[in-house]
Structure 1
Amino acid sequence: MIGEKIVSFETIDSTNRFLKENFSRYPDGTVVVALEQTSGYGRNKRRWHSPRGGLWFSVLFKPRKRVELVFYTKVFSVAIVKTLETLKVRAGIKWPNDVYIYGRKLAGILTEGIFEGKKPMAIVVGVGMNVNNEIPDELKTRAISLEEILGKEVSLMRLMEAILKNARVLLRRYIKKKEALTRIWKRYLLQKEGDTVTFLEDNQEKRGKILKISSDHLLVETDEGVKKVYSLSPH
């Protein structure tokens, strides 16, 4: 069960990296949490500023059957949004894996797999959330903390426990009904079909209209034709 075993660190390079390197030593559902990460990272290996005061943890899964990585991303992104709802905070999911409020990033999820051929040996889901940490000046227009939203400090362990509890419920409820979870995830998405988005292609920003939202890509109509988009602009 998620969170039955919790491994804590004061400082670590990356909770995701630790579980990827040590997954064989720990049971399914193990959670690794750190007060700070020195080399936290997100999608496309973008550096994630992870100082003390934030919530930085990873969860280990050892599925018996093949499960797409994106399913776990949806479980945790929806779990975070539902947890925030109990704090009277209305957040949305920026496709495919970030939680935003007031147009600024509050949290991100990174799901990584360790495979033997096509068989998943382990899946690691990393969660990074700005909670009580100071946001660097250069990121203040793009990132926000929960303390800034609520006007008070938040217990990191209680917050993590609430997210894990919601994740357990979602996992149990939707592991055999993945399409139903996708419908919930889409309801929380900030991007809707018909919206204009900015995306990255060959490190260049381009714009287009979303025709269709899939779990791992967007179909976007641009001046150059319809494109499959795998990464939106971080701004």
Structure 2
Amino acid sequence: MIFTNLIEANLKTNTIGKNIEYYTQLKSTNNEAWEIIKEGSQSGTLIITDNQISGKGRNGNEWESKSGKSLTFSLIYQPRTIPVEKIGLLSILSGISILDGLKELNINGGLKWPNDIILNDKKIGGILCESKINKKIIEWVVIGVGINVNESMDDFDLNLTKKASSLFIELGQNTQRERVIAGILNNMELLLERFESDSNFDISKDWNNYCTHNNKKVSFKKNNMTHYGLFKNITIDGKCIIESDGKNNYYSGESISDLQIL
């Protein structure tokens, strides 16, 4: 069970996480977030569940989680000044927030473009940002996060054991989920406030510092075809730079998929 009072005790935010909607079970925290927005919500509302049974991942994939062991939550956010051209950076910012929060618990992870949370070369989490845009104005954003916290190897399907892991598997001990989420939210509010107030804020520098595959050979899919190249870094607007045949190519998170480090 998630104890919301422990989350609140570790929060240092002004708005994010001040309103917590906790459910013992949900199909999807992102879907529930959009329902709450329809009913009338405030920015910073946190939706969290102990058992997400139909979690959403990128490109229509499903995010698998384990009841009582995973951390699955969504944050409702209403941008004030972020232009629609920079909406893709919210996923980048969220990844940095997660790594900053984990670092405060002496957990040093990395990021794989565009939204994978990596620890010891295995995926322990992911991010799914969804938005509602009206007349080129971002009305609402839902930031969905899933992190494998206290799962054992037996909790994963056999086809996932080579590429997925959890904090418990990598660290050899349980981690209090409430402290993890509070640390993430604390850092997320700091970054969002800076992002909103400073139009020149270059968040790509922080992301590149966490990247696990800068200057490494990668494969990826575009238009159902596999391509290869050298991953360089990401740009100030969140696109990745992959060098192929001596030419730098720029891709958004929506334009390619299944990036693999070779």
TM over 0.5: yes
Aligned counterparts, 1:186-197, within 5 A: 186-192=208-214, 194-197=215-218
For 1:211 and 1:55, the matched residues in 2 are separated by 31
Q: Which amino acid aligns with 2:90?
A: Y
Aligned to 1:30: 45
Task: Calculate percent identity across the aligned residue pairs.
Answer: 28
Asked whether the equivalents of residues 39 and 47 of structure 1 are also in contact (C-alpha less than 8 Å), the reply is: yes
Is it true that 1:181 corresponds to 2:206 in the alignment? Answer: no
Is it true that 1:40 corresponds to 2:62 in the alignment? Answer: no
Aligned to 2:219: 198
Q: Which amino acid aligns with 2:55?
A: G
Deviation at 1:223, TM superposition (A): 5.0
C-alpha distance 116-21 of structure 1, shift in aligned 2 (>3 A): farther
Is it true that 1:148 corresponds to 2:169 in the alignment? Answer: yes
C-alpha distance 234-39 of structure 1, shift in aligned 2 (>3 A): farther
Q: 2:190 aligns with which of 162, 169, 179?
A: 169
For 2:116 and 2:64, the matched residues in 1 are separated by 15
Is it true that 1:5 corresponds to 2:26 in the alignment? Answer: no
Deviation at 1:224, TM superposition (A): 10
Three-state SS of the structure 1 residue aligned to 2:143 is: strand
Deviation at 1:209, TM superposition (A): 2.1
Aligned counterparts, 1:20-169, within 5 A: 20-24=34-38, 25-52=40-67, 53-67=69-83, 68-133=86-151, 134-169=155-190
For 1:221 and 1:180, the matched residues in 2 are separated by 22
For 1:222 and 1:127, the matched residues in 2 are separated by 32
Q: Which runs of 5+ in 2 are unaligned?
A: 1-14
Three-state SS of the structure 2 residue aligned to 1:37 is: coil
Q: Which amino acid aligns with 1:42?
A: G
For 1:226 and 1:186, the matched residues in 2 are separated by 17
Deviation at 1:101, TM superposition (A): 1.5
Under a length normalisation based on structure 1, what TM-score does the superposition of the two structures give? 0.90
Three-state SS of the structure 2 residue aligned to 1:17 is: helix
Deviation at 1:132, TM superposition (A): 1.2
Asked whether the equivalents of residues 9 and 34 of structure 1 are also in contact (C-alpha less than 8 Å), the reply is: yes
For 1:234 and 1:38, the matched residues in 2 are separated by 26
Asked whether the equivalents of residues 200 and 232 of structure 1 are also in contact (C-alpha less than 8 Å), the reply is: yes
Count of residues paired in the alignment: 234
C-alpha distance 175-137 of structure 1, shift in aligned 2 (>3 A): same
Deviation at 1:233, TM superposition (A): 2.2
> Which has the larger displacement, 7-16 or 152-161?
152-161
Deviations 1:186-207 (A, max 9, x none): 2111232x43211112333321
Q: CA RMSD in A?
A: 2.1
Asked whether the equivalents of residues 196 and 209 of structure 1 are also in contact (C-alpha less than 8 Å), the reply is: yes
C-alpha distance 5-55 of structure 1, shift in aligned 2 (>3 A): same
Three-state SS of the structure 1 residue aligned to 2:203 is: helix
C-alpha distance 129-209 of structure 1, shift in aligned 2 (>3 A): same
Q: Which runs of 5+ in 1 are unaligned?
A: none
Deviation at 1:222, TM superposition (A): 3.0
C-alpha distance 179-186 of structure 1, shift in aligned 2 (>3 A): farther
Aligned to 2:28: 14
For 1:213 and 1:71, the matched residues in 2 are separated by 11
